[in-house]
Amino acid sequence: MKRYLNSVIRFITIGVAVMMLSGMVSARQPILDGAFWQLGSWLFKDWSDQKFADEVKAMKEAGMDIIIIHHGAWWDNDKRDYQTFLKSSVFREDSLLENRDPMESILQAADKYGMKVILGDFLAPDCWQENPSQWMKVWTTGKSEQFRKEYITRYSKHPSFYGVYITNEPSPTDVDKTNTRELWINSTRTVAQTIKRYNPNLKVIHSVGLYAEWQKNKEGKLVPMPPSRQYLDKFWRPWITGIAEIDTWMVIDGVGTYLSDIKHTDMAQAWCQDVAKSAKKEYWTDVENAVMGNIGYFPFTMDQLEDSLQVAARHADKIITFEYIHYMAKSSPKPEARKLYTDYQKYRKQYFSNPR
């Protein structure tokens, strides 16, 4: 009898393992692995380097070990050039930095606490539709390539410098309207190759946005709706399968920005997971943690965030949230954001003491 029971237990154990490997059972928990940080002038004015380091520690205390800096430079349409908060010999530095290097403080703290930092690259120029070939060249070559070389060389001394996030979130409507899909893919490939050339160990991460697909409603009128699986596949599959240098693809779940809802994002994440895995890439989910749109900008409640975490856990290798400092940080100036941080701490502790 004992031998029989042991055989049954072994059979069940093997069966569960097989189901997990085949995707029939989710192997991960609805817990955050990390978060985006948006850095800007208001932070440099109000936050010391020590405060940045303290927030790295607060993230670690909340069980997160990945920080994605949303962008390292941004386009100034008036001056037709980039501005940056990093040290640079080619781009204009943010005047509020006053010879500081906040990224150095963030990376030092991340080294100390065993975190991974993914540094955001920068967007293609806002004016790219004026002359797509010209402005994509501005984004990929010349000063832009030199800037990438500088930040990769400078920060690669840190063991916590894990990768680079390509911050573009191309809208299928704009890209297809200008017939520039191939140009975008080739330009993105060039940027990814540049990153790998200066440090082949860095991971390259790219997002997949759930931008609206224009479809006919019941009255036959064309209106923007969450994109279908076919629409996603038509636009995004060539990117995912065609750029070998990108290691991770990440769906922005679109819940907080109303580009998607829980049911739709579940479908979209399942689609992206399938395509990414078929291309032998990692798949992550960016779980929005705030309402961001016409009705205002304010953090989710923990109940809202949990709904999105439950969906992401069915699909993602890693779960990241957007945006931490504005909407969830322990030191955020917004009391609702500080509350979400505290509530998430309670949720995480309760989850581990009584997993669902």
Closest CA to 184 of 148, 139, 223: 139
CATH number at residue 220: 3.20.20.80
Task: Report whether pLDDT(13) > 60.
Answer: no
What gap in Å lies between CA 42 and CA 116, rounded to an integer?
A: 24
For residues 212 and 254, the answer to whether their CB atoms sit within 8 Å is: no
- Count of structural domains within the chain: 2
DSSP string, 66-89: EEEES-SEEEETTTTEEEESS--S
Model pLDDT for residues 242-255, shown as the tens digit of each residue: 999 999 999 999 99
Same domain for 154 and 47: yes
DSSP string, 96-126: GGTT--HHHHHHHHHHHHT-EEEEE-BPPPT
What's 211-243 look like in SS3? CCEEEECCCCCEEEECCCHHHHHHHHHHHHHHC
Taking residue 280's Cβ as centre, other Cβ atoms within 10 Å add up to 9
Same domain for 126 and 11: no
Same domain for 10 and 133: no
Same domain for 143 and 16: no
Q: Write down the pLDDT at residue 199.
A: 98
Q: Write down the pLDDT at residue 14.
A: 34
Same domain for 130 and 61: yes
Model pLDDT for residues 141-158, shown as the tens digit of each residue: 999 999 999 999 999 999
Task: Report whether pLDDT(304) > 60.
Answer: yes
Model pLDDT for residues 69-101, shown as the tens digit of each residue: 999 999 999 999 999 999 999 999 988 888 889
Same domain for 115 and 12: no
Taking residue 218's Cβ as centre, other Cβ atoms within 10 Å add up to 5
Same domain for 211 and 71: yes
Q: Write down the pLDDT at residue 25.
A: 43
- Token digits of residue 297: 């900008």
Q: Write down the pLDDT at residue 40.
A: 85
Same domain for 205 and 112: yes
Task: Report whether pLDDT(232) > 90.
Answer: yes
Give me the half-sphere count of Cα atoms (radius 13 Å) on the Cβ side of residue 187.
Answer: 25
Model pLDDT for residues 326-338, shown as the tens digit of each residue: 999 999 989 999 9
What gap in Å lies between CA 167 and CA 202, rounded to an integer?
A: 16
Task: Report whether pLDDT(8) > 70.
Answer: no
Q: How confident is the model at residue 309 (pLDDT cuts 50, 70, 90)?
A: very high
Q: Write down the pLDDT at residue 3.
A: 41
Same domain for 38 and 68: yes
Percent of the chain past pLDDT 70, that is, above it, reads: 92
Q: Write down the pLDDT at residue 355.
A: 66
The region, left, alpha or beta by phi > 0 then psi within -120 to 50, assigned to residue 86 is beta
Q: Write down the pLDDT at residue 93.
A: 92
Closest CA to 93 of 73, 112, 113, 75: 73
Percent of the chain past pLDDT 90, that is, above it, reads: 82
Model pLDDT for residues 120-135, shown as the tens digit of each residue: 999 999 999 999 999 9
Q: E strands along 111-196, which residues?
A: 116-120, 161-166
Q: Three-class SS of residue 330?
A: coil
Task: Report whether pLDDT(16) > 50.
Answer: no
pTM: 0.90
Same domain for 77 and 14: no
**What's the rounded mean pLDDT across residues 198-222?**
94
Same domain for 35 and 9: no
Q: Write down the pLDDT at residue 19.
A: 37
Q: Residue 99 belongs to what domain range?
A: 31-353
Q: How confident is the model at residue 28 (pLDDT cuts 50, 70, 90)?
A: confident
Same domain for 149 and 297: yes
How many residues are listed for the chain in this entry? 356
Mean pLDDT across the chain: 91
- Token digits of residue 123: 């967007």
Model pLDDT for residues 190-208, shown as the tens digit of each residue: 999 999 999 999 999 999 9
Task: Report whether pLDDT(7) > 60.
Answer: no
Q: How confident is the model at residue 341 (pLDDT cuts 50, 70, 90)?
A: very high
Closest CA to 296 of 326, 319, 339: 326
